[in-house]
Structure 1
């Protein structure tokens, strides 16, 4: 009995070590790998600033830039600008994503709507957002409505294309189930179509968020008096490049965080969808 029980005890004794190795390989190593290139850039930045390869007015030192970021946080300027930008992104994304998903499903489920309205909508959406900016400024001015509409227009196209392609390629068995159960149109959308299209819609929403964030920064740099993009433009006009570097860093980190959170939710959603189909 003791000889048989010995391997089991040895396996139980080694299990925490394997678990620790698994945690290191899953979390620690990818994190260190991702931070390696930024650390090299930071080192190069410090060397260039200390040896004055460029004037300090153009390339401030990293510690000086960090102190500027701390001052902006302490004064509340950075947090206020970021909260304004995130609110604009949320309102524009919800509006544009909802309309885009509705249009995509309409064109996918109605052949007449796809033939009559679809080409015009696609042609209008394929014009870059910056191309519509002068026209929107003449109509809506440079207030908050301009930001919301430009972000909504940017987020509209990915959701329209994603929902359209997902509905067109949806397996026929889902439609057969809806026909057998004699579901109404809204019951089909709620019970069958939306759960089946959820992974594709979530992928399109992730793309729309990234495009909407970039469009927001551009419109804030051009026609705005508040927001993180305006703060970066103000730093450039005041020739305070430390403010410009801080806002660039914040914009990149927030954009990465938005994409990372959306990716995590997307993976969880796709995993759930695979379990239900299996």
Structure 2
């Protein structure tokens, strides 16, 4: 019983070690207090931001941008990846450009997107869409390509229409790599969104971090950094739980 409890709490070891190192370095005074704020000050800033509602407002704005951009990007990636795998014409005409564009870091496109769309919501949603689209499209394409040919031959025998072919054959058979692509796309989308808000935004978690940096409120900066990491971890963990629930048969 004790071993089981220790195993379940093992994930706490590395965060506690980081916290202990943070406390020791801050107490030793190796860095100026303006640069390395003690954990107690960060917690106090977190409580103040939470009590005033400022943190919730910024986080809600960021998550709404993420939800819209990721949903559009994931749906587009799912459809395009399927077409890329099933259609020779789409592969011939679109694959070279697709594989070229997916190599461009999303952050590198931020200046161009700002020039084209300004600093309003369109720019942020599009940069999230781009970050989500390519991992989902690539994973979907590879997953559909990996489906045994016999599946499609049976579908041809029963003359399944395209919607039924996708819903009942292609997507279920390619589900594991598709979910992996969704996890990667969601993580990238969240990181790119925070970076975009750091550079050009009037609200959102990244904007809160940048404004705090300009005001030398390093405690608030640390709050934003920690919250960004925790949100990303929760999002990824949620998709991992969904993956385990959907594919329980793989562990049997």
Question: Which string of whole-angstrom CA distances, capped at 9 and with x for unpartnered residues, describes residues 53-109 of structure 1?
Answer: 222211222111111100000001111111111111111111111111111111111
Aligned-residue CA RMSD (Å): 1.6
User: Displacement, 1:25?
Assistant: 4.4
Match of 1:49 among 26, 39, 42: 26
The aligned runs of 1:131-170 (5 Å cut-off) are 131-170=108-147
Q: Does 1:62 align with 2:10?
A: no
| Equivalent position to 1:271, from 242, 245, 248 | 248
- How does 1:1-278 map onto structure 2 within 5 Å? 21=1, 25-26=3-4, 28-272=5-249, 274=250
Q: Distance in 2 between matches of 1:224 and 1:249?
A: 20
- Higher mean C-alpha deviation, range 51-60 or range 93-102: 51-60
Partners of 1:233 and 1:144 in 2: CA distance:
18
* Structure with bigger gyration radius: 1
Query: Are the counterparts in 1 of residues 144 and 171 from structure 2 also a CA contact under 8 Å?
Result: no
Post-superposition CA distance 1:98-122 (Å, at most 9, x none) = 1111111111111011101221122
User: Counterparts of 2:7 and 2:118 in 1: how far apart (Å)?
Assistant: 46
Offset at residue 31 of structure 1 (A): 4.1
* TM-score, L = length of structure 2: 0.95
TM-score of the two chains, using structure 1 as the length reference = 0.86
Give the conservation status (yes or no) of the 8 Å contact 2:46–2:220: yes
Gaps of 5+ in 1: 1-20
What is the DSSP-based 3-state SS (H/G/I as helix, E as strand, rest coil) of the residue aligned with 1:58?
A: coil
Mapped partners of 1:136, 1:59: distance in 2: 34
Task: Tell me the distance in 2 between the aligned counterparts of 1:76 and 1:211.
Answer: 27
Aligned residue pairs total 252
Q: Is the 8 A contact 2:146 2:174 kept in 1?
A: no
Using the alignment, how far apart are the partners of 2:164 and 2:18 within structure 1? 54
Query: Which residue of the partner structure matches residue 7 of structure 1?
Result: none
Which runs of no fewer than 5 residues in structure 2 stay unpaired? none
